[in-house]
Amino acid sequence: MTERLLDVEDLHLSFAGVIAIDGVDFHVDEGELFAIIGPNGAGKTSIFNCLNGVYRPQRGSITFGGKNVVRMKPNKVAQLGIARTFQNIELFENLTVLDNILLGRHLHFTYGPLAAGIYAGRARKQEIANRAKAEDIIDFLEIPAYRKSLVGMLPYGIQKRVELGRALAMEPRLLLLDEPVAGMNVEETEDIARFILDIKDELGVAMILVEHDMGLVMDIADRVMVLDFGRKIADGAPDVVQRDPEVIRAYLGEEFHSTELHSAEIEAAEAAIRGKGSS
Amino acid sequence: MRGRPGLVTAYRRDMSILPTTTQRVWFFSFCIVVAGLTFFLSDDLASRGASAAAAAIGAIGLNLVTGWAGQISLGHAFFLGVGAYTAAALGGESGGPLIGLGLEMWIWLPAAGLVAALTGLLVAPIAFRLRGLYLAFVTLGLVFIGEHIFREWDSLTGGIGVGRATAKPVLFGYDLSKEGSFAGFTLSPEQQYYLFALIVLLVMALFAKNLVRSRTGRAFSAIRDRDIAAEIMGIHLSRSKLIAFTVSSFYAGVAGALIYTFIGFVEPRTFSLTLSIVYIAMILIGGAASIMGSIMGAVFITFLPRIVDLVAGVVPFIEESPSGGFLTVVQVEQILFGLLIVVFLIVEPLGLHGVWIRIRNYWKAWPFSY
């Protein structure tokens, strides 16, 4: 049995009476690719925000690598090794790709502001060493042509890659991916899927994937958890979860009776939900 | 391929401030020309040049906190004042009615920066919880508090309308305010101030440039662009803001000490909101988040009155005397000042630095337009 990396128990989060997460339990093992799916507003991103320390859950525990991260500030959580990408790109848009990725490596620098201003010895050595690491990531994500471009000017698909690169640059133990292929075409989705699998196989980083693209989730995830209105309604291997009647009901409503769920139909349902402007 | 000019094969070269030989040649030639001007500038121009260089230090400081770290500060005048009065107290003539220890410049100049930095350090915590306009308002309060202290503390500042003489610019026994000679040239005090201010500016601009291209400066920019994402990257927000305010105040302190020492006189009403806004204008017109822009903006704003004077000599309805004519020089200056801020914000948000980049890129591609 593999090592347990993350353990979430009985997580509760509400905003002034609106319940976002209602008693969710799950765990992620070392090197595992765990997916969270669910309709919009199910609480997927809220779970990420709790893991990151951005939100403070009212109840429950989050144990990461043996440490309780509830009530920890986001920068402390980052030190433990949780990195993240965002649903709506949160890059530093006035900086270059290189600077964004170097910012991902912020914790790998140890010199202070005085050394920075003098920029000799340790500071210079660390800058150069980290630049080399950042270049490795740029190579890995196949974006060397953009390294000195301002992120804000880049196309959406590339920005998504840069954001993945920035998170990877932290050399995390757990990577949270919030809709990494949202809004992408088939080729771009395939590229990202390849990167995710490479991260898993070559770097052995555990990941939690929140994604609406069912095809992708079912293809690459080791385990899937389904949320609806802040509650966990199913949990298990992808092929088991997609036959679960509860899941089908949550996604497509009571009327739908098919036992096999096709990603095209889910996307249609998704599109209908999104059309109401809930995200 | 190796050995091709312009081919960078080491990160160290690629990451240096001036990566290409062309840039190096241009930069050093520019420095030599600017320093060489010392010997040819009239006293009036040299004195303005010295003020511009000192103001550039202050503008770099404001740019660090506002342009890079994104913390709008209207309190810059206060830190300039703290620097000016620290210098005056430590370097001013001793034995008079006002506080003055008669120390040398190598003590009072860094001390002016340090005392201002310390003040900045104490004030920075208000930026932990506030941002944007709210922070601007609170730092505005700082200016009023500072103004009050400067007005009332007569033994330090001489009081309203009276003012005081500032520090003596004596460096290791060499008095910059007395005529000196260098390589056969006779240097007036103004020319010496100019050269000295340039040297201090060069050192401090280099430090700031290093700061912003490394870990600390990247963290500043990250906070400006996306503070939550920055925190998730492991950046300690409060600590970074603290560093930004402290360093910025240090720069303001040094700038304040230099500017008023060159003038030789300082009056407490100087450090008002208007002065803060002048510095905001410098970085807006020069270019936010750019060292070169800060310098360009400071030079431009400092020489603006000179430019208006020149224009007044040509245009008939602008009078130099304060009472006569359709418009006076001072009025034109104020109108231009406001107009320039508005025009730059709308037309060229990257400021003079942006204009420069555009010109440079145009000539790079010349004669093609792409």
Candidates A90, A96, A119: best to mutate against B (most CBs of B within 10 A) is: A119
**Is A100 found in the same domain as A160?**
yes
Question: Residue A18 pLDDT more than 60?
Answer: yes
Task: Over range A12-29, report the average pLDDT.
Answer: 92
**Is A98 found in the same domain as A198?**
no
pLDDT of residue B332: 83
Domain count, chain B: 1
Interface pTM, i.e. ipTM: 0.88
In a domain, B303, yes or no: no
- Per-residue pLDDT of A182-224, as tens digits, reads 889 999 999 999 999 999 999 999 999 999 888 899 999 999 9
Domain count, chain A: 2
Range of the domain at B147: 38-272
Between CA B45 and CA B190 the distance in angstroms is: 9
CB A170 within 8 A of CB A101: no
Q: Give the CA distances from residue B22 to residues A101, B15, B138, in Å, rounded to whole numbers and listed in that order.
A: 29, 16, 46
pLDDT of residue B159: 85
Place of tokens 């309709």: A39
Q: Where do the DSSP E strands lie in chain A?
A: 4-15, 18-29, 33-37, 59-64, 67-68, 82-84, 174-178, 206-210, 223-228, 231-236
Question: Residue A275 pLDDT more than 60?
Answer: no
- Per-residue pLDDT of B122-170, as tens digits, reads 989 988 888 888 999 999 999 999 999 999 998 888 888 888 888 888 8
In 10 A of CB B274, how many CB atoms?
Answer: 11
Shortest CA gap B248–chain A (Å) = 12
Please tell me which of the candidates B216, B221, B232 has its beta carbon nearest to residue A95. Answer: B221
pLDDT of residue B46: 92
Model confidence at B103, in pLDDT bands (50, 70, 90)? Answer: confident
Using the beta-carbon criterion (under 8 Å), do B222 and A170 form an inter-chain contact?
no
Using the beta-carbon criterion (under 8 Å), do B229 and A54 form an inter-chain contact?
no
Using the beta-carbon criterion (under 8 Å), do B216 and A116 form an inter-chain contact?
yes
In DSSP terms, A206 is beta-bridged to A174
In a domain, A230, yes or no: yes
Question: Residue A239 pLDDT more than 50?
Answer: yes
- Number of A–B residue contacts, CB under 8 Å: 106
In a domain, B23, yes or no: no
**Is A238 found in the same domain as A181?**
yes
Question: Residue B325 pLDDT more than 70?
Answer: no
Q: Is A78 on the interface with B (CB under 8 A)?
A: yes
**Is A99 found in the same domain as A41?**
no
pLDDT of residue A278: 41
Q: Which residue has the higher pLDDT, B101 or A277?
A: B101
Model confidence at A259, in pLDDT bands (50, 70, 90)? Answer: very low
**Is A179 found in the same domain as A162?**
no
Q: Where do the DSSP E strands lie in B232-287?
A: 265-266
**What percent of chain A clears pLDDT 70, i.e. is strictly above it?**
90
**Is A266 found in the same domain as A190?**
yes
Q: DSSP string spanning A107-167?
A: GG----HHHHHHT-THHHHHHHHHHHHHHHHHHHTT-GGGTTSBGGGS-HHHHHHHHHHHH
User: With the CA atoms of A166, A172, A177 and A181 taken in that order, what torsion angle do they form, in degrees rounded to the nearest 10?
Assistant: 50
Please tell me which of the candidates B11, B210, B232 has its beta carbon nearest to residue A116. Answer: B210
In a domain, B349, yes or no: no
Q: Is B227 on the interface with A (CB under 8 A)?
A: no
In a domain, B348, yes or no: no
In a domain, A88, yes or no: no
Question: Residue B207 pLDDT more than 70?
Answer: yes
pLDDT of residue B20: 83
Strand arrangement of the beta sheet that strand A33-37 belongs to: A82-84, A174-178, A206-210, A33-37, A223-228, A231-236
Q: Which two tokens stand for residue A158?
A: 């590339």
**Is A138 found in the same domain as A14?**
no
In a domain, B61, yes or no: yes
Model confidence at A265, in pLDDT bands (50, 70, 90)? Answer: low
Q: Which residue, of A127, A148, A166, is where some domain finishes?
A: A166
Closest CA to B87 of B200, B187, B182, B179: B200
Using the beta-carbon criterion (under 8 Å), do B233 and A128 form an inter-chain contact?
no
Q: Which residue has the higher pLDDT, B197 or B348?
A: B197
pLDDT of residue A92: 94
Using the beta-carbon criterion (under 8 Å), do B215 and A106 form an inter-chain contact?
yes
In a domain, B4, yes or no: no
Q: Which residue, of A140, A166, A192, is where some domain finishes?
A: A166
- Per-residue pLDDT of B1-13, as tens digits, reads 566 777 788 888 8
Between CA A11 and CA B107 the distance in angstroms is: 59
- Which of A153-157, A251-255, B207-211, B212-216 is least confident? A251-255
Single pTM value for the model: 0.89
In a domain, A87, yes or no: no
**Is A186 found in the same domain as A76?**
yes
Q: Which residue, of A139, A166, A193, is where some domain finishes?
A: A166
**Is A203 found in the same domain as A65?**
yes
**What percent of chain A clears pLDDT 90, i.e. is strictly above it?**
74
- Per-residue pLDDT of B51-97, as tens digits, reads 999 999 999 999 999 999 999 999 999 999 999 999 999 988 887 78
**Is A266 found in the same domain as A179?**
yes
In a domain, B301, yes or no: no
- Per-residue pLDDT of B228-270, as tens digits, reads 999 999 999 999 999 999 999 999 999 999 999 999 999 999 9
- The CA-to-CA distance between both ends of chain A, in Å, stands at 39
**Is A115 found in the same domain as A160?**
yes
CB B219 within 8 A of CB A89: no
In a domain, A86, yes or no: no
Using the beta-carbon criterion (under 8 Å), do B229 and A86 form an inter-chain contact?
yes
pLDDT of residue A90: 93
Contact residues, chain B, for A128 at CB < 8 Å:
11-12, 15
**Is A127 found in the same domain as A214?**
no
In a domain, B368, yes or no: no
Range of the domain at A202: 4-81+172-275
Using the beta-carbon criterion (under 8 Å), do A116 and B236 form an inter-chain contact?
no
Between CA B62 and CA B81 the distance in angstroms is: 14
